[in-house]
Amino acid sequence: MSQKFHIKKNDVVVVIAGAHKGKSGKILEIRGAKNRAVVEGVAMIKRHLKKSQENPQGKIAEREGTIHVSNLMLQSRFDASKRKKTAAPAAKA
């Protein structure tokens, strides 16, 4: 049975913790076995490909790495929480 996460494929998310904090992108894939997600344009890693039919010279390809789902938040929820924080001090004054 698969786990239920607070995010799903094609959601727009913001990274809220870790080395890529503040970056956002669309979820391309969720890897449930390790509780991780692949986010478009975030956590880019270099992959060395050896010579083959389609890469006669070989190459260094860049692709997305994975990020733990606990470090991701929906963009809409992130924006709503930011609005509350900026509105709260004004209400006290």
pLDDT 10s digits, 35-71: 999 999 999 999 999 999 999 999 999 999 999 999 9
Q: Is residue 93 part of a domain?
A: no
Q: Is residue 57 part of a domain?
A: yes
Q: Above pLDDT 70, what percent of the chain?
A: 91
Residue 2 has pLDDT above 70, yes or no: no
CATH value at residue 67: 2.30.30.30
Cβ atoms within 10 Å of 15's Cβ, excluding its own: 21
Q: Is residue 2 part of a domain?
A: no
> Which residues, at least 6 apart from 50, have a Cβ–Cβ distance to it below 8 Å?
58
Residue 87 has pLDDT above 90, yes or no: no
pLDDT for 31: 94
Q: Is residue 40 part of a domain?
A: yes
Q: Is residue 50 part of a domain?
A: yes
DSSP state of 57: T
Cβ pair 7, 30 in contact under 8 A: yes
Q: Is residue 49 part of a domain?
A: yes
87, with CB counted inside 10 A (0-12, 13-18, 19+), is: exposed
Q: Is residue 65 part of a domain?
A: yes
Note the pTM of the prediction, 2 decimals.
Answer: 0.78
Residue 90 has pLDDT above 60, yes or no: no
How many distinct structural domains can be found in the chain?
1
Q: Give the structural domain span for 57.
A: 12-77
Q: Is residue 44 part of a domain?
A: yes
Q: How far is 4 from 35, CA to CA, in rounded Å?
A: 10
